[in-house]
Structure 1
Amino acid sequence: MSEPDEVRKAAAGAVADLTERNALLVADLAAEGLVLWDLRRDAAGTPRGRSRPVLPWDELLNGPVPPARALERAVQTDGPARLLLVNTFPDGPHNTAALDALRRAHPDATALTCDLRLGELLAEVVADAPLNRWYDLVTLQRQDDGRLELACRLLFPMGARRGERAPVAVECEAADERGTVFAVVSSAQERRYALVTRRTMRVPPGRYTVTAELGGPGRVRFHGLPAEPVADDRTWADLIKAIPAKLPPPVTAAHLVCAVEVSGPPERVAERLARAGQTVAHAAGELRDRLRVSLLAYGPHAFERRAADAPVEIRLWAGTADEALDELERLTGTTRTGYPRAAALECVLAEVAARLGPPEPGARTALLAIGGRPAFPPRVHPSEILPCPVRHDWAAAVDVLADRPGTALGAIHDRPGHASDVWLRLSDGAPADLAAVDVQRLGASLGLAPAAAQRLPFPLAGSP
């Protein structure tokens, strides 16, 4: 009788010799009958196995076909295959005779007798098998002109075994709702790649040092991410199709300036503040510590005699997203009274245009106005709205901001169908509707988040 280590060694040698064309058939002469496993390598070089239905001894030995012929027919394969015979129930009434019959029919087969659980041993042998190909992580490489090309980062060389680990630096950009895909491909000498595994998770944009752990051929786990990646069922063709042809220059820093009108019904003001908070939170999720936020609250001018006229309040300038969200919370319940037909948006625009310094290379500035009333005109106007007391011209301020490099303008209006000229200029004629804002689309239009066509399915290759 053989020892378990002898069976393990024979199985390991047979698995090592597997190819896509040359299979391995393992015949387990068990207590209940003949149990067969077919093993071969898939296109990625991973050993794969499937078991056939158990053939009971009574059916094999007492059927219409002679027992020797029935046994020989049971172990037939469609193509070239190595045969490993293991009698795992030596005391069985049929097992020894059946093993002898199979050995006579297949003298080149390896035949062993050992009381063990052969299925469990085969699973361990496959998991412990060394890689017969290189394993690489699929990444994207950004070219100088913004074009994206597929690239690979080596994870494990040929011969690597279960338990080995490999750190790899990657940079995750915004992905779609499914998340970033960590795909592993294999290749041999000719460097023709085949997909081994793909797992996905929603990763906040940023740089990560991920540790890949080899769990055996075809099995790779990733550590160092905010959560455990899950299996991804998208095809390789679908993933490749999702890669945009080109990316805009990376945003090294971003400044979101939110101007919120705080005049009118309290419930309307509360809704404006909520939209501002959603926009800030979404931009912070995309840009993290690259984002700075300014917050201005404004209302109408005061024309009453001896009334203080301070329609614009700078609540925060170039602060963090958390500070901006705190200031928005403090504005809850605030309403400004005064002249009912306009709000001092022209003073907001003039203030922002004066405060913004020269743009930095790669930096992005976005001005978002949220409100509903028209701006005060700089002089007497056919609308009969009173002129701005300090004669600020909203159109001139918009021109200055629109001409500033790296600056985008946007607007959320209470009722877009009734928006005045200033709101149309700020939004290219289409302000977002306060009641139904698509924050992701708005962020993309302001350059604070990639558009859907610019989201990356794979991580970018980081610095080694």
Structure 2
Amino acid sequence: MIKTEVELRAFLGPALHSLAEEQRLTVLEVATSDVRRFEVVRDRVGVLRGRRLADLPPDTTAVNDTDSALLIRTAVGRTQIDEVVRNLYPDVTEFVAPDADLIEVLRGVVADDRLTRSYELVVVRRTPDGGVQLQGLPLFAAGAGQGETVHVTLRCLTDRLVLAVCATGEDGPRLLSLDATKLAPDTYQVIVELRRPGLVRFTGLPEEPRPTGDRWSDLVAGLPRRFPSARPHLICAVEVSGSEEQVAMRLHLLDGAIGAADDAIPGLQVSVIPYGSHEFRRGVRDAPVRPLAQEVEPAQARSLIRAQAALETGYVLAAQIECMLETLLMLVGEESAADSALLTVGDRPAFPPRANETEILPCPYRRDWEAALASYGGRALVAVCDRPTDAAEQVWHRLGRDLLVDLDGADIREVVAALALAPDRRPMPFPLIEMV
């Protein structure tokens, strides 16, 4: 590069690099008999883009359509075009660079630009309850320049990997590029290189990613809602105190729900927790809540449910929901909770941990149903209540966070779908990364 081109590059650099997003700059090159025009703009993702406009002939009547302009004189001496340029751009800044190759200099200045937004790779992560969440994996910070690299470990879950890069600023992320490649599901060590602002290259994959025609909205809409359960676990809690007819109806619904879940969810394991009421009569022992079945095959769980008898009603204002939930927490640890779902069938409210404004006596063990329920990190909370949903107590709306239906109107298929344990077979195109 000749000296004048080095100086020209130093002159153009600050002007171009300081452009704000969607701000334009016109660069005029005055040659012997005409004026070549170039436009440089920083686009909505912070990348400088340049294009050549129509030349400016000597007899032009064009109107100035830009707020700022630079005049680069590559021909020595004044020409008849000078008056036209000065009329159109009276405040133009001039630089003389005889014989300089302006196009190459502009290309170099654009390539030397630094990021005004940080770049992130769109990845998926598994939430504590097994859900799918899109998240940005930082690649390059604002201020990074061409040639910088970063090493990342990416896990591909399907035979097609989509690599979406976003440019993130104070106004949030904006999609920069969308590439895809075919490969086997596996874990890959990938080198990501910033070739220049606006261009990111991925190496270390079996095939080089290519631009894809996918629409971003379609990719996001097509994502599965949850990751497949490694060991799907359905926990069924059923109130077995009350009239024999009431209890029989609850057990019948539970039997049908487990059968339908067995058909829809491969590898399903079932636990059953029957619960009744606390006993406050003197001399009568309070029966603790214990599992009837713990991670057994669905057929075995159904057999045990069919043999379950109704318990004496006892205290009629509440049922041992709080003790059932404590038993639930003992059945599932934090790591396995994400592969489980709770289906509760019953009618009465829980015992409070201490005396309150209601007439219900507190739990003898001072157990708090709200705290226990908040500690459970399962995939879904589904509840079937004897009474209509608009008449159900608050605890039932919490137990039915994902679905609450009344016993008479319960649709078994709807109940099983709400458990979110059936595998969602839609592909996961974005890379998975373990993130805290």
Partner of 1:456: 428
Residue 88 of structure 1 and its aligned partner are, at CA, apart by 2.4
Partner SS for 1:146: coil
How far apart in 2 are the matches of 1:222 and 1:193? 20
CA contact (8 A) 1:171 1:462 kept: no
1:193 Cα deviation (Å)?
0.6
Aligned residue in 2 for 1:371: none
Residues 232 and 90 of structure 1, relative CA distance in 2, 3 Å threshold: farther
2:233 is the alignment partner of 1:247: no
Please give the per-residue CA displacement for 1:6-58, whole angstroms capped at 9, x wherever unaligned: 21122211221222342111112245732222221222111122222334xxx
Q: Which amino acid aligns with 2:69?
A: L
Which residue of structure 2 lines up, in the alignment, with residue 160 of structure 1? 144
Q: 1:293-304, aligned counterparts within 5 Å?
A: none
**C-alpha deviations, 1:310-330, integer Å up to 9, x for none?**
xxxxxxxxxxxxxxxxxxxxx
* Cα distance per residue 1:59-92 (max 9 Å; x no partner): x22x4x6xxxx4xx36x21xx532111122337x
CA distance in 1, matches of 2:186, 2:3: 56
SS at match of 1:4: helix
2:144 is paired with a residue whose SS is coil
Identify which of 121, 124, 134 aligns with 1:137: 121
Q: Would you say 1:227 and 2:227 are equivalent positions?
A: no
Matching residue's letter, 1:183: A
Q: Which amino acid aligns with 1:82?
A: S
Separation in 2 of the partners of 1:32 and 1:168? 54
Residue 89 of structure 1 corresponds to which residue in structure 2? 75
Matched letter for residue 457 of structure 1: P
TM-aligned CA deviation for residue 98 of structure 1: 2.8
Alpha-carbon distance in structure 1 between the residues aligned to 2:25 and 2:88: 17
- CA separation of 1:97 and 1:453: change in aligned 2, threshold 3 A: farther
* Displacement of 1:403: 6.2
Quick one: which amino acid aligns to residue 95 of structure 2?
L
The one-character-per-residue Cα deviations of 1:96-115 (angstroms, maximum 9, x if unpaired) are 45346535753532211221
1:148–1:463 CA distance, 2 compared to 1 (3 A): closer
**Mapped contact 1:87–1:99 kept (Cα < 8 A):** no
Match of 1:182 among 155, 163, 167: 163
Amino acid at match of 2:17: A
CA-to-partner distance for each residue in 1:192-229, whole Å, 9 max, x for gaps?
11111121101211112211100111000001111211
The residue number in structure 1 matching 2:55 is 54
The answer to whether the Cα contact below 8 Å between 1:141 and 1:150 also exists between their aligned partners in 2 is yes
In structure 2, the CA distance between the partners of 1:127 and 1:451, relative to structure 1 (3 Å rule), is farther
* C-alpha distance 404-10 of structure 1, shift in aligned 2 (>3 A): farther
Show structure 1 runs of 5+ residues with no match: 252-362, 366-399, 406-449
| Distance (whole Å) between structure 2 residues aligned to residue 208 and residue 130 of structure 1 | 28
Question: Which whole-Å CA distance do the structure 2 matches of 1:163 and 1:128 have between them?
Answer: 10
Pairs within 5 Å for 1:59-78: 60-61=57-58, 63=59, 70=61, 73=62, 76-77=64-65
CA RMSD of aligned residues (A): 3.3
User: What's the CA shift for 1:364?
Assistant: 7.2
Structure 2: how far apart are the matches of 1:30 and 1:462?
58
Measure, in 2, the Cα distance between the counterparts of 1:12 and 1:404.
75
Residue type at the aligned position of 2:213: D
The equivalent residue for 1:120 is 104
Matched AA of 2:426: Q
Cα distance in 2 between the residues matched to 1:15 and 1:111: 15
Change (3 A) 1:191 1:209: farther
| 2: CA distance, partners of 1:201 / 1:207 | 14
**Partners of 2:227 and 2:135 in 1: CA distance:** 16
- Shifted more, 28-37 versus 241-250: the winner is 28-37
Equivalent-residue separation in structure 1 for 2:26 and 2:90 (angstroms): 15
Q: Secondary structure at the match of 2:68?
A: strand
Q: In structure 2, what is the Cα distance between the partners aligned to 1:33 and 1:452?
A: 64
Residue deviations 1:362-400, cap 9 Å, x none?
x979xxxxxxxxxxxxxxxxxxxxxxxxxxxxxxxxxx9
Q: How does 1:233-382 map to 2 (within 5 A)?
A: 233-250=213-230
Task: Give the alignment partner of residue 108 of structure 1, picking from 66, 72, 91.
Answer: 91
- Displacement of 1:454: 2.4
Is the 8 Å Cα contact of residues 2 and 113 (structure 1) preserved in structure 2? Answer: no
The one-letter code matched in structure 1 to 2:23 is N
Query: Could you tell me how far 1:156 is from its partner in structure 2?
Result: 0.4
Go from structure 1 to structure 2 and tell me whether the alpha carbon gap of 1:145 and 1:117 turns closer, same or farther (over 3 Å shift).
Answer: same
> CA 1:105–1:38 in structure 2 vs 1: closer, same or farther (change >3 Å)?
closer
Paired amino acid for 2:55: V
Offset, 1:161:
0.4
CA distance in 2, matches of 1:191, 1:165: 25
Deviation at 1:174, TM superposition (A): 0.7
Distance 2:7 2:67 in 1: 21
SS in 2 for 1:185: strand
2:153 corresponding residue in structure 1: 169
Question: Do the aligned partners of residues 208 and 165 (structure 1) sit closer, same or farther apart at CA in structure 2, a change above 3 Å counting?
Answer: same
**CA deviation vs aligned residue, 1:402-425 (integer Å, no higher than 9, x gap):** 9699xxxxxxxxxxxxxxxxxxxx
SS of corresponding position for 1:246: coil
Q: Is the alpha carbon distance of 1:41 and 1:221 closer, same or farther for their aligned partners in structure 2, counting shifts above 3 Å?
A: same
Using the alignment, how far apart are the partners of 2:426 and 2:16 within structure 1?
44
CA gap of 1:248–1:20, structure 2 versus 1, over 3 A, is same
- What's the TM-score, normalizing by structure 2? 0.52
SS in structure 2 opposite 1:211? strand
Call closer, same or farther: CA 1:246–1:32 in 2, change over 3 Å: farther
- What's 1:27 paired with? 28
**Native 8 Å contact 2:22 2:44 kept in 1:** no
* CA distance, structure 1, for counterparts of residue 434 and residue 193 of structure 2: 19
Percent identity, aligned pairs only, is 31
Q: Confirm whether residue 15 of structure 1 aligns to residue 1 of structure 2.
A: no
Query: Structure 2 counterpart of 1:186, which letter?
Result: A
**Correspondence for 1:209:** 189
Structure-2 separation of matches of 1:250 and 1:120: 57
